[in-house]
Amino acid sequence: MATFIFLCNEDTEIDIRDQIEDAKEQIASGEFYDTPWSCGNSTKIKIGDRAYLKRTGNRPHGFFAAGKVVAAPEGYQLRKQGEYKHLSEAYLNSFYGNSFMVLLHIDSVVNFDQPLEQEKLRYMPQFRGANFTFMQGGCEFIARFCEDLDSAWEEHSMILSRKGYGKRLVDTFCDRGQAHKDKMNYQAAIEAYNQALLIQPRYSKAVNALKTCESLLKKQITKKISETEEIKSDKNSNELESSNISDSSNKIERIKDITIAKQQEEASFLGVSFGNYQKNKEVEKAAVDFVRKQYNGWNIESVERDKVGYDLICTNKSLVENVEIKGVSGNEPAFIITANEVNQANKNPNFVLWVVTSALNSPKGHRWSGSEMLSQFELKPIQYMARLRPKTQS
């Protein structure tokens, strides 16, 4: 992933301050601020690249917004035109004068008059030798200085956001996570902190809060399971006392058979097919293709054949997700899951479950962490493994 600098002169972008206010409002609502931006004659920009907007023209010069490059809508991609097929999906089929344009996902912004000033950066030892003068937009920043620029921007944007002079999407999700945590809604808190880490994978505040919430959720689940088992135990004791012991064995076997048949019928109705192998493969492939698109810009490794309890290993810098994918042809997220996959949900903190409903028609993705899956789904056996008991010596 490279870092590219995009320029902004208020003499030509006269609405830039209004755009920044719109961006603040959008980010505060929990969404990226999408905007097309000119990039000169640069042709190397790709989806997932880091993007910084830099103020030029009237001083102070410096960086006032950051985000990443994303794909333009398919019908608006310049690469669809034959002479531009070498360009990435980020390029729009419109021009700013003679300049190319790409689509940016802005996740943090500060006031236009309070940028991270380039003159201050020049005198920092970590930026010795860095060039902050760009003749046109779309220039690539020298790779060895990118991490330091990210750190300087994080500190600058955080300070200004706390003073009300900026907004960061990572803070929006962390604030949501804290609100859910205060209400002991740990599942929602975990989801919010995961969203924060998708934006800033090494953000320590989100990392530490996520670990705390996962621990609290585990204790919460353990307590619920214990309470449920106590209720079941009391109920079973009462039923056994009033039952006819001589008939109980036969009744239990009949109940097992009926339950299995009913669950298979129910699963088939919901779109979990037991008998149509070809359709199962089509649903599975459609679901995998859908989920892969959700990890655009990530490194994706398929481990489906290894039978490790999940299908994909998705990495983005230090963030790792072990992704299990379930495709369903119906509208309800009901599916078959193996003991190995359940074990991963129990023990693997990186485990993530994606369920894609209506996979062949109008696919819709649903995402759960392992702890969320265990707490929100009811797991029912649909078959048994039978083995002869060892013979006892007489």
| Higher-pLDDT residue of 387, 283 | 283
| Chain segment 144-166, per-residue pLDDT in tens | 999 999 999 999 999 999 999 99
Distance CA 312, CA 305 (A): 10
Checking if the pLDDT of 389 tops 80, the result is no
Checking if the pLDDT of 51 tops 60, the result is yes
For residue 234 the two structure tokens come to 């009391």
Average pLDDT over residues 323-333: 89
Distance CA 24, CA 32 (A): 10
Average pLDDT over residues 62-89: 94
Look at residue 241 in the predicted model and tell me its pLDDT: 56
Checking if the pLDDT of 87 tops 70, the result is yes
pLDDT band of 109, cuts 50, 70, 90: very high
Percent of the chain clearing pLDDT 70 (strictly above): 86
Distance CA 24, CA 13 (A): 18
| Higher-pLDDT residue of 373, 168 | 168
Look at residue 267 in the predicted model and tell me its pLDDT: 43
pLDDT band of 259, cuts 50, 70, 90: very low
The CATH code for residues 254-376 is 3.40.1350.10
* Tokens 């600098």 -> residue: 5
Distances in Å between the Cα of 163 and the Cα atoms of 23, 110, 156, 158, 177 are: 17, 10, 11, 9, 21
Checking if the pLDDT of 275 tops 80, the result is no
Q: What residues does each domain of the chain span?
A: 3-164, 175-227, 254-376
Average pLDDT over residues 231-235: 72
Average pLDDT over residues 307-311: 89
Look at residue 207 in the predicted model and tell me its pLDDT: 93
| Chain segment 161-218, per-residue pLDDT in tens | 999 999 999 999 999 999 999 999 999 999 999 999 999 988 999 999 999 999 999 9
Residue 275 and residue 265 in contact, taking contact as beta carbons nearer than 8 Å: no
Distance CA 293, CA 314 (A): 12
Which helix (H) or strand (E) segment holds residue 63: the answer is strand 62-70
| Domain 3-164: which CATH number of 1.10.1220, 3.40.1170, 3.10.590, 3.30.70 | 3.10.590
Of 74-83, 105-114, 274-283, the poorest mean pLDDT is in: 274-283
Checking if the pLDDT of 244 tops 60, the result is no
pLDDT band of 270, cuts 50, 70, 90: very low
The alpha carbon of 231 is separated from its chain's Cα centroid by a whole number of angstroms, namely: 37
Mean pLDDT for the chain? Answer: 87
| Higher-pLDDT residue of 336, 60 | 60
Q: Which amino acid is at 295?
A: Y
Residue 112 and residue 18 in contact, taking contact as beta carbons nearer than 8 Å: no
pTM above 0.85, yes or no: no
Checking if the pLDDT of 273 tops 50, the result is no
Residue 174 and residue 209 in contact, taking contact as beta carbons nearer than 8 Å: yes
